[in-house]
Each structure stands twice: as C-alpha cells, then as structure tokens.
A and B are shown apart, each in its own frame.
Chain A
Amino acid sequence: MSEQGREELELHPLERRVLSLILSEGPLGFDEVAAKLSVNVGAVAKAAEWLASKGLAEPSKASVTHVLTLGEEGLIYVEKGLPERRLVEVLRSMGGEATLSQLESAGILGKDELNIGIIWAKRNGWISVSKSDGEVKLKIERYPDSKSDDELVLEILKRGAARLEDMGPLQAACERLSRRPRVLRINEVARYVLTPTKRALSLPPEVLAEREEITQLTPELLISGAWREKRFRRYDVYAPVKPVLAPRPHPLTHLIQLIKSIFVELGFEEIQGPLVELAFWNFDALFQPQDHPAREMHDTFYLSSPATGEPPRELAAKVGRVHRDGGATGSRGWGYEWSIEEASRLVLRTHTTATTIRHLAQSPKRPLKVFTIDRVYRNEKVDWRRLAEFHQVEGILVDKNANLRQLMGVIKEFYARMGLKKVRFRPSYFPYTEPSAEVDVYVETKGSWVELGGMGIFRPEVTLPLGVREPVLAWGLGLERLALLLLDVDDARILYQNDLRWLLSFNPLKLEKLRVSG
C-alpha cells in the first residue's frame, strides 16, 4: 500500500466521493455519509479506513447510543403478556385469591411462568403471599388498572428496535427488564465521525475530480473501445487474497504411478491378482510349510465367511508331494503330511508374491517380465511403522540366463530412478527363494541405511511343480516405507488418514526434484 502512495495519489471512486463530501460539508457521521451517498455504512467504514491509511481523513468515536432489542422471552411476553399480568388476571377470575396448588391445577400458567409471575407481582405490590395450614395463599392487593411501565416498554418494542436514549421516563423500566433473563438486550452502539485532515484540505483538485476510471474491464468496454478514453484504476497488488488449493491425487497414488512408470520403462508388464486368496497360492505354492509361523493366526487374516475355496486339484497334489518329500524336484522336502484342507483356507493375501506365482503358473510366455503394485494384509496391531494393510511393489523376471547379479541390477536401477543411488545387498531368507537377498538403501537426509525389501530366485520346489524350468528372479519391496522417506512423513498411519491439510500440502514437483537429484 505504501508503494502506491509514493508514486501518485490514486483514490478509489468511493474514497473520492466520501472525501469530497466531508470536505464540503465538514465532519459527518458514517451513517450520515452513507445516507447522503446512498451506500451502506460498511462501505463507508471501509473507505474511511483507506482514507485514514493515506492520511486524508480521521475516523473518531463521537458518541455512544444503546439499542434495545427483545430476547427470546421478551418476544413471547410481547405476544402473551408479562407473567405477572397474566397471574393477576387469573387470580381475578378466581375471585381475587387462590392457593398455589389451585393455581397450578388450573394450568393456565406454566410452572416457570407462575414462579416468575409471583415474584414480580409481589414486588410490584399487586399481590400478597401468605402461608396457612401448609398452603401458600395468593391474594390481589392492588389490581393494576393501567399498563405498567414494563408493559409500555414491551409495547414500544413490539413496533421495532428503539434507542434507550429515546425512552425518556421509561429508561428505568428498560434497565429493569434487561435484568430479567432473555427478555431485553441493551447493546452499545458507537457512532463514528469522519473528519478531513489538513493534508486533505490541501489536496490538488484533480485528485478529487470525478473521473471515469475502469475498475473491471468488461466485454462492453472492449467492444465499444471506450476503454481508450478512460483510465484503469490501480490495484493494490499486495492485498491478501483467499487461498486456492488445487485438488490433487493422493500422494500414495502419485508415488504408485511413478513406480509403475519406472517398471514400464524397464520393460515390465503390469499384472493384478486377488486380494482374498487361497492359502494354496499365498503359502503352499511358495513352499511355505503348513506349520510355518507366518501362517499362524496372529500374522495372517483368515476368513470365517467364506472360509474355504478350491485350490487347483492337479497342481495341489504336485505341490503337496514336494512339501512331503521333494517330489521330482531334487529336494528333500519338509518331511510332513501335507493337507489340502489347510491349503483350501481363504486368507487376505500377506504378500503380492501370491499374485506373481499365480501368473507364473498360467503364463507360458518366455521371457517373462511382469510387476504389480498392490495391497497386502498382515494381522498385526497397527502402530507408527506397522499397518494391517499396505502395498508391495512386486515383480518377476523369467529367462533362461537369469541370475542373482541381474536381480541386484534390476533393484539397483529401480532405486536409482527413484533418486536413491546408494544401495547394498545382504543375504536373507525366504522359504521360497534361494539365493535370497535383502536390499538396504542409503538415505542422505537421515545419514543411515534403511531396509526396503526382499528378493531372490524362486526355489525349484516352487517352480518345477508349475512346469517352469528357467530361473525366476523375484522381488517384493515395501511401498509405504519408501513413501515415508520420500514424503518426509514419520508415521505410516498418516498415509491413510486423508487429512485435507496434509493431502493439499503435498508437493508433487518437490518429489520429482528429489527423484532427479537423488
């Protein structure tokens, strides 16, 4: 705003009109200015603020008035009469006196109204209250023929709001009514007066001259060309504006799309498989023995309804034999009695390897390069780093010359394209791969290695029953862990809370930059 004043004093048309008015007529109340210019008082107040900031006018509190308005109870009293009035009317109809219980059973006044009425009628000297034989007795002492002051106030207010200052002798009644709950409100209203400053008095006349200025450029102005004869009003470019937040994809979706594009670039085809899965595909086909701890109830979600499905019979028989004694795979097997019932149970898949193994069983394509990024489940207590449902980035490469170093190469390339250039591999163990490895990624910002996923070459016990003779390179990487690193979040639960502040603070460009620079 200060920038603007330095160059040239530029007044908004409203400022000009208000200033001209007070220069010619002297100090005026905001309400008077509003009336004379036929604008609302709010607009005048705004113009006064602008003029004050430019040192051209000075608003000051001139006087204070008190506005009377009826409260909830007051609105009822206006219609039905004050409770004390209604009480004496009832008493009169009952012969001038009655006991409290008689009044209560008459039921004309409610219990609360009755109590309020008794207090005020007694205070006004209209009735007396006495006690005899354990009964409260009310008796009219002075029947009010004319309306009381309180009633007169209500009558006036029935016609609309009024000012306390205009109430003359009824002012005391107003104060009295305002002390009764929710009957009458007295609000203080300040009146402001705007006075031109010395600077305004010495303004060059052209500043105040009525001038055709364009505020909003319109199609009409453009078509007629009238804009050529006019000036454009200058805007306050520093004025704050209401923020606009662009809707955007969920950060996880963004990350998933990014990872998908990398695997597509590397020549992998996307696949997808069931979320509710047969234990057969999730465990047995992956040579996970049926008493393996990972299959226990506290790790895996089993279904109660539907509880079981139908594993492929022929393949299941082969797999069962491999578990028992290795079958024709050259393995010794696990050496136990394999059960088809256990393999028929339905689970929420615990890894996306269930999907790659299914695909491997069905696809005769060689070489084969497929990937999937999808949801998996673990029956665990949820905390800042463990979720019961999360995503895995899974893939397999099947080729006759596929080997461990190539597997490491694919994973290294993937993380490099995610901006994580430093990786290391350690030996690891999975029941379905041999050799197996774990990948750690070095995170510069944390100065430490972070474990991000497992991989290996499928065991012959896994591939041979499917009729697959080539080595199968397989990996399963955690998505959420990677997300926490790249999105700079320290609690995995945040990813699924969908807090709009968090969703709308996500900066996809920053993620992209991070990925490029590494």
Chain B
Amino acid sequence: MPAITLRVDRVSRFVGINLSSNQIAELAAALGMSVEEVGETEVKVEYNPNRPDFGSQASIARAFKGLLEIELGAGKYSARASGIVVEVERSVQSVRPYIACALVRSLNLDEEDIADLIVLQEDLHWILGRDRRKVAIGIHDYSKIRPPFTYRAVGLSEIRFIPLGSYQEMTPQQILAEHPTGRKYAWILQGKDLAPIILDSRGNVLSFPPIINSSLTELRPGARELFIDVTGTDEKAVNQALNILVTTLIDLGGVAYKTLIKYKYRRRQVYTPNLSTTKWVLDPSLASSLIGLELSMRDIVKALRRMRLDAKASRGKVVVGVPPYRVDILHPVDLVEEVAIGLGYQNLEPVLPETAGIGALLPVSKALDVLRQFMLGMGFTEVVNTTLSNTERDFNWMLINREPGIKILNPVSIMYDCLRELLLPGLLSNLAANSKNPYPQRLFELGDVIVRNDALPEKAGREKHLAFVACHSTASFSELKAVLEEVLRLFEMENSLSAKDYPFFIPGRGAAVVKEGVEVGFIGEVHPSVLENFGLYMPVVGCELNLSLLGIA
C-alpha cells in the first residue's frame, strides 16, 4: 500500500481549523487509511490503491473537510480554454499512443508544495502507471517552453537534449544506457527502436516519456505556471492521472487551462483535462439492503455529500455526481460503500445474521483427527511443516533421482523451488534441527502433499499423507512396524507389507505397504547416506502412508 506522511500544521492549514495528530489519525482511519504511526507533528498513513487521489496532503485534507462538514459535496473544478495545441504524430502509435496535457497558472508553489507534488507524481506512477509502464507524468515550468507542442517518436539517436540530473546533451540511446533513471526504466521501451518525445514550437525537448524530463523545464520553488503531460498505453488511466494532478493543483490555488490534443493517427481530437463530474443513479434500497440499515433518502444524500460527492434526491432515486479525481467508482455498489463510510463504520452496529445453517466438518478433517489421536496415543509428537520445499532436500538428499512434479517459476528465496511430494524429508529436517534435544524422538505429520495430475483443470492435486519417524540410538524397524500395524488395523489392512528396496532406506530393511496390489506407503530404516545428507547422526526409522489411497481425501 502506498504511504504518505501527513504534517499536522500543513493539513490543519488546508482544512482551515487546528487539528491534533490524534484527530488526523482518526479521520484517516474513518476514510479507510491504515494509520501506521502517530507522532507530535506528523501522522504516517497508508492508503488503498483504489484511491490514488489520496496521494497528496491537499487532497486528503479535501476529504477531511467533508467528514468534518466544513465543505460538503464535490468541489467545483473547471478548466478554461487556452488555445494550446498538442499534435500527436502517427509515429507514437506503436510506442506510447496516448497523451493528455494541461496548463495550470496562478500558482505560487513553495518547496513543500513541490515536494508534495513529487510524492503524488511518484505514487500515481506506481498505482495508475504500473511503474510508468501504463502511465507516466511530466511536470514542466511553462515559462521555459512555447506552444504548440508536438508528441512524436524519433529514432534513438536522432535527437539530443540535456536530461534532468545531467549537465550534458544526450541521445535517448545514451540516456537508456548511461543515465541512472534511464537505466531504471529502459525495460519499458525494450524491443522498441523509437523514443517518444514531446517538443515545443522551438524544437526544445520537454520530455522523453516515460523515462525522463528535460532539465530545461525543471521545477523550482516560486514556479507560477505548470505544464503537465501524461502519456501512456491506456487512455482512461492517462486522463485519470491528469485529473488527479490538476484538481490537486486547483486545490493549491491554481487555475487550470485545457489543451487540444490532435491525434493524426485517429479521427479524433480531444480537450484535456475533462474536469466534469460523472453522473450516477443510486437506488436507495440497494444502500439500505447492503448496509443493513433502513436509510432515508436524506441520510443517503448527506452521507454521500460528506464523502465529497454531489448528491440529490430525484424521483425516488439518488442522483450522484462523482468528481473527476475519483477513479474508483465502477458500479453503484461503490456508491453504497461511500454511503457506509459517510455514515461512519463505527456507527454501524454489528448484528448476528439469522441465516440458518447446519455446521459440519469435512469427513477428511474428522478422519485426520482420529489418526492424530492414535499417533499421539502411541507417543508421537505432531509437527507441521510447509508444503513449499526445495529439490535439493526432497530429492537429492533423499537420493531420489527424478525431477519434482511441480516446479516454481519465480521463487524470491532459493529455499523454495518445488512443492513437497512426501512428508518424510520434512520430518528428517525436523530431527536434524532437534539433534540437541533429548532422545528418543518420535514425530509425526499429517498433511498435504501436492502431485502433478493432468486430469484436473489445475494440473495438480492434493493428497493427504501420514508420516512418522522414530529416532534414537536403538531405533529399529520392528519398533516402527508395530506402530504401522496398529495404524493399518484402523484400515483393516493387516499383513500388507511386502519387502521392497527404496533409495532412502538401507537395502533389505524397507517394505512397501500394499493394498489390493497398489502401493500405498512404505516403511524402513533410513540409509546412513541420507542421514548424513541431513546432518543426522542418530539412527532413524520412518514410515509414510498415502491416506488418499486409503479412502481419506
């Protein structure tokens, strides 16, 4: 979840009243933010990615004003005409097809405002932009550039400009190879031999999206006019990011101006930003039934207005206006949640549902409980291991010469590259880890193994296994065989051993458990080479049964 630090004085200034850090924390939590730290002068919160508009302190303050009923309903946001044109050439279509721009004037940004803006830009890059791949934002000092602008894609060595963070002219090719920011984001343009570039009427480069801006237009405190470009691969997300930025700048005192985007490769020209509210119709009975409260039209309208949405009753329905920075409203149920938050979750009293139901455990759970009681009764302690495992331990150490049935593509840790197909290796690891503890040690595990099964749509199935081991200086086959026979009596399977050698058992000291000609398990004395692999210097006898083959699944 993206994080933001709320400064008590700054938020108070935006809201217009003095708030304590505790009040700020409460308001943030009531809006669905997760409060991480409450200090004297700062409150650290995380916000959910469905609300990228919570990326700046000014816009969070806007939401606080609603809950505090200082301002209700959606704010008034509009953009004036500017005459600025952005020509979009066909060459960008295959590289980065969409762009939206805006001009914001009458600003007086101090250092804190600029810092805020950069945080918002970075969070938008992540949340809406998927790390700039889908959306990338450039913010420019408008005084350094002159419209009209051109958005085109050029050859990687066709143009030179000084990028931010550098003092010399570089080609896009050089930036991607040498500049730290270029190297970081080069993957987005991988496989493309063109660089998207925004130019002004004098041929100056504004930016090389989604990589870097030109140093020419770098923001400095005192900047009064900002030009914003948003480019990307998803037109909707591009416009959403622009709307969130522009509305935040309007909250900071700016006046927004539209630009005309002229696409040469599609029969379309659009004005951006489009700051109109979106109209929705909410059936009040949907809100009442989902929340579980008889809500009046008045209740609903008020709750929505507290959430900074426009709302009014009209012919038995609620007509809702959603401001341009809200990107999370996809369906009327999203408005129902707005009503619930507007009412305050703390005001919703929990009630037990009257829905009847007959509780029941799965038969497999009951069967496993019986087996667990048996194993405990015979003096074995239960262990629980992970199903994530690694080939080295489960196959190589066990002297099993084959590939795992399930392999993981992208493990963060090399500890995990497959899923367990036997419980025994885990138990041997447990014994090795317990070598400093008193002997005898008797352990068992009841759990899932995962095996390849192409008959299933997900190509892998769960099997329930039982495994148990005895480890002490005189651990013997007969000791464990007695335990196994007691377990097998539960399944009415007396006399089902059949001598068989296993790579992980001493030759001549292993046996298969066979039911109607099918091998359902094995028992044996663990081979010293295997014990050595696990770092175990104490004899071990082990047994494993596939319970799924015995009717427990």
Contact = CB atoms under 8 A, between A and B. Distances in A.
Interface of A: 247-250, 252-253, 257, 260, 263-272, 274-278, 291, 293, 297-298, 301-312, 326, 329-336, 346, 348, 367-369, 375, 377, 379-382, 387-389, 397, 399, 401-406, 408-413, 424-429, 431, 434-438, 451, 457, 459-461, 471, 473, 495-501, 503-504
B155 interface: no
B462 A435 contact: no
A135 B241 CA distance: 94
A367 B355 CA distance: 7
B353 A406 contact: yes
20 contacts: A253-B382, A266-B359, A270-B362, A270-B365, A275-B419, A302-B409, A306-B452, A311-B457, A335-B234, A368-B357, A379-B410, A401-B289, A410-B352, A425-B350, A428-B32, A435-B291, A459-B333, A461-B331, A471-B290, A503-B383
A249 B30 contact: no
B459 interface: yes
B411 interface: yes
Given A405-B293, A500-B437, A247 B376 contact: yes
B314 interface: no
B362 A346 contact: no
Contacts of B450: 275-276
B410 A267 contact: no
A265 B359 contact: yes
Contacts of B413: 381-382, 388
Contact of B406 (A249, A276, A311, A437): A276
B341 interface: yes
Interface string B343-374: 00110111111011111111011000100100
Given A247-B382, A434-B337, A406 B351 contact: yes
Contact of B382 (A248, A312, A375, A387): A248
B352 A267 contact: no
Contacts of A501: 437
B340 interface: yes
Contacts, number: 274
A395 to B, nearest CB: 11
A329 B430 CA distance: 51
Contacts of A302: 408-410
A404 B291 contact: yes
Interface stretch (B177-185, B385-393, B493-501): B385-393
Nearest to B29: A426
Given A389-B387, A427-B32, 19 more contacts: A247-B381, A250-B384, A263-B359, A267-B358, A269-B360, A309-B456, A331-B331, A379-B410, A403-B292, A405-B348, A405-B349, A405-B350, A424-B346, A425-B350, A429-B48, A435-B340, A461-B331, A500-B441, A503-B383
Given A269-B360, A335-B236, A389-B388, A330 B332 contact: yes
Interface string B28-68: 01111010000000000000111100000000000000000
Nearest to A427: B32
Interface of B: 29-32, 34, 48-51, 130, 134, 234, 236, 289-293, 328, 330-334, 336-337, 340-341, 345-346, 348-353, 355-362, 364-365, 369, 372, 375-376, 379-388, 403, 406-413, 415-416, 419, 430, 433-434, 437, 441-443, 448, 450, 452, 454, 456-462
Nearest to A365: B357
A257 B362 CA distance: 12
A382 B545 CA distance: 31
Given A389-B386, A429-B50, A503-B381, A306 B460 contact: yes
A309 B406 CA distance: 13
A247 B380 contact: yes
Given A269-B360, A306-B452, A435 B336 contact: yes
Contacts of A305: 403, 406-407
B409 A303 contact: yes
B345 A498 contact: no
B385 to A, nearest CB: 6
B130 A377 contact: no
A346 B460 contact: yes
A426 B362 contact: no
A498 B361 contact: no
Contacts of B350: 405-406, 408-409, 411-412, 425
Contacts of A312: 457
A264 B34 CA distance: 32
Which 6 residue pairs spanning A and B have beta carbons closest together?
A: A403-B292, A427-B32, A267-B357, A264-B359, A429-B48, A369-B357
B290 A435 contact: yes
A293 B49 contact: yes
B131 to A, nearest CB: 9
A146 B411 CA distance: 78
A427 B31 contact: yes
A436 B462 CA distance: 32
B400 to A, nearest CB: 17
A406 B348 CA distance: 10
Contacts of B360: 264, 269-270
A425 B188 CA distance: 40
A349 to B, nearest CB: 9
A498 B355 contact: no
B406 A504 contact: no
A402 B355 CA distance: 8
B52 to A, nearest CB: 12
Contacts of B364: 272
Contact of B458 (A298, A346, A382, A471): A346
Contact of B130 (A249, A293, A411): A293
Counting chain A CB atoms within 10 Å of each CB, the highest count among B330, B369, B430 belongs to B330
Nearest to B331: A331
Contacts of A307: 409
A233 B382 CA distance: 41
A418 to B, nearest CB: 15
B381 A260 contact: no
A382 B292 CA distance: 40
